[in-house]
Amino acid sequence: MSYLKNQNKMPEFLCNYLKYKNFIAFCPTTTIETYYCNLKVFLKFIKLYFYDKEKLDYIDKTTFKDVEIQDITIDDMAKVTRNDIESYIYFLSNVLQNDSKTKNNKVSVLKKFFDYLANNNFIPDNPTINIDYARVKKRLPKYLNLKESKQMLSHSIKSNDKYKIRNYAIICLFLNCGMRLSELVNINISDIKLDERTIKITGKGNKQRILYLNNASKEVINKYMKVRQKIGYDNADRDALFLSSRNKRISRRNVESIITNKLTTLFAEKEGLHTHSLRHSCASMLYNENNVDVFILKRILGHESLSATEVYTHVDSKKMRYIMDNCTISSLLEK
C-alpha cells in the first residue's frame, strides 16, 4: 500500500491510524488508500492554515500538492475547531473546486479520523461532531441499454488473442453480474465453482455474497481459463482470476483503461460513460427488461440499504407506457 511506502512523509499519528484501519479494522485496500489521500489533503490545509495562512489566499492546486505534512503534531490536531473544519470545507469548494459529493466523502473520512483520535484520548474533543454534509443532487448514472450492451459484447468477442478473451470476460461479468470494479479485480479462481454456477464476491467492508452465473458468464470464464497464463506457486497472485501481462493481478486502472477505450470507440456520442456504467447497465436491464424485484436486485448488487438500490430502479419509457396503459384506475375499471 502507498501509505506504507511513504511513512517517513507523514506524521506518526496518521500512520498509526491507517495501520489501525488496515490491520485491526480490516478495511479494504481501496478504503485505506481513500483515507490516506483525503487525510493528506486535510493535513496540508491545516499546515498552511495554522502556520502560513496568507499563502491560502493565492495557492493553486499544483503548489498545494507540494506541501509537506510530516512535521504536523498531535497537538495540532487537538487545536482544530469546528470553525477550522468549516474553513477547510470552504477551501475544498473554492480552491480545490470539489463538488458536493467529493466534499462529503472527505468530511466522512475526517469524522471517522477525529472520532478515532477522541475515543483514544489523543485529543480532548471531536470538532467534526456537528459538521453537516452538503446536499447532493441525485443524478441517474449513465448506462447502456440492452441493444448497446449486446453491441459492446459482440464487438469484443471475435478474437483468439488471450488478452482480448480476458477483456471480453471482464466486460461479460460486468454486464451479467453487475459487480463493482474493486470486486471484479479481487476475484480469485477459488471463488468460482463452475459446477454449481456460483461466484463469491467480496464487496465493501469485506462483506461477501454469492452470485449465480448464467450460461454466458460460465462459458466465458471457461474460455478464458483455457488461455489464462500458467503461473507458479511462488507468484503471490497465482489465485487471481484476471492477470495482467506481467502475470500480476490486474489493476483497477488497467481495467478502467480497457473499458474506457471500448466505450469511447463504440459510443463516442454518449457522454459520461465509464466503468461503473456497466454495473448500472446490468442493474437497469435486470429491473427494466427482466422485472427483477428490487429486494433481489439489492442482494445482487450488494447494497447495505434499499435506498442505495433506488438509483438503479428508474423506469424506462417503454415500461412507463405499459404501466400507465394497464395499471391506472381507468384501465382497471375497463377490465
Catalytic residue among 204, 223, 252, 314: 204
- Residue 135 known to be catalytic: no
| Catalytic residue (one of 143, 168, 287, 312) | 312
280 is catalytic: no
Bridge-based pairing state of the strands 192-193 and 208-212: unpaired
Tell me, yes or no, if 303 is annotated catalytic: yes
Residue 279 annotated among the catalytic residues of the structure: yes
The amino acid present at 155, given as its one-letter code, is: H
| Catalytic pick among 180, 228, 280, 298 | 180
| C-alpha cell of residue 29 | 485496500
Count other Cβ atoms within 10 Å, centred on residue 6. Answer: 13
Residue 180 annotated to the active site: yes
How far is it, in rounded angstroms, from Cα 234 to Cα 130? 51
Of the residues 21, 103, 228, 303, which is catalytic?
A: 303
Exactly one of 209, 252, 270, 276 is catalytic; name it.
276
Given 44, 47, 249, 279, the catalytic residue: 279
Give the ranges where the chain is alpha helix by DSSP (H): 2-5, 12-19, 29-51, 61-65, 74-79, 82-94, 100-119, 146-157, 162-177, 181-185, 215-227, 252-266, 275-288, 294-301, 306-309, 317-326, 329-334
Residue 322 appears among annotated catalytic residues: no
Within 10 Å of residue 236's Cβ, how many Cβ atoms? 10
Supply the residues annotated as catalytic. Answer: 180, 204, 276, 279, 303, 312
